[in-house]
Amino acid sequence: MTVAEGETPLALTRRARRMQRVLADRYPDAHCELDFTTPLELLIATVLSAQSTDKKVNEVTAGLFRQYRTAADFAGADREQLETILKPTGFFRAKTESVMKLSARLVEDFGGEVPNRLDKLVTLPGVGRKTANVVLGNAFGVPGITVDTHLGRLSRRFAWTVKDDPVDVERDLMAIFPRKDWTMMSHRVIFHGRRTCFARKPACGACPVAKLCPSYGEGETDPVKAAKLLKGSMAAVGSLPAVGQLDQADVEAAQHTVDLNAHPTGGGPGIETGSVVSSSVGGPA
């Protein structure tokens, strides 16, 4: 594992876990945002979510899952009809192919049921570790780290990892967080990426983990302007004294620390990486 300059692996673990607890306060309702009632529905919805939004996928699957209920239904679907239904999610021909092929495999090799093991799930056509971990974590309660675009991006911004490859990121995060937290940690960070820590303009001035983030200052630091950037229910939270939210003095102090410690990767040893550790912060499992 590579850590931010000047931060020991132990300090990284403690800082990351503290960030995770702050995010748990900020997003108490963090969850998988794809609608599903069965492992098969979640598997199909996750395949459809590639290059699409969860909102769009949910609009499509609301009707899709009324029409197709079993793996056999999908495997034996009329291809053109299925393509028409899936079209709004984009890449509909490839997605139709994946859905029909993986469903056929479920029927042939797994009695029509979705397996609850990673090694089996990744043998299904079009199913990689990300999709498998979504299904394991949310349909079967098996802890899994879902390295999607948000979790990968924020993990690097947080200096939890310097890796780009999702499998490498997953491995680094597995070393930081206890297994029982993997699924919820993924949801919380993804929520944060969608509502506060945006790719282009993160709302640093309204961010609850600003004091713990080496990338503070990459986005808007003015608390009032930053609060206006927040999305979803956070837009209302942003104007309130939310848990862990910085006051102006905190913002200025953190900005000063970042300025003093800025380095090419955006990670700064002065972001209280060691000093923020309180006696209530647990060490590595």
Contact footprint for ligand SF4 (CB under 6 A): 157, 196-197, 202-204, 207, 209-210, 213, 215-216, 218-219
Q: How far is the CB of 221 from ligand SF4 (least distance, A)?
A: 8
**Of 7 and 41, which CB lies nearer to ligand SF4 in the complex structure?**
7
Q: How far is the CB of 202 from ligand SF4 (least distance, A)?
A: 3
**168 among known catalytic residues:** no
**Of 86 and 227, which CB lies nearer to ligand SF4 in the complex structure?**
227
**54 among known catalytic residues:** no
CA distance readout (Å), 126 to 55, 95, 133, 265: 21, 9, 14, 34
Q: Residues 25, 54, 120, 148: which is the catalytic one?
A: 148
**Of 139 and 203, which CB lies nearer to ligand SF4 in the complex structure?**
203
**Of 137 and 219, which CB lies nearer to ligand SF4 in the complex structure?**
219
Q: How far is the CB of 274 from ligand SF4 (least distance, A)?
A: 18
Q: Residues 25, 95, 119, 130: which is the catalytic one?
A: 130
Give CA–CA dist 220/254, Å, rounded: 13
Q: How far is the CB of 175 from ligand SF4 (least distance, A)?
A: 21
Which residues are known to be catalytic? Answer: 130, 148
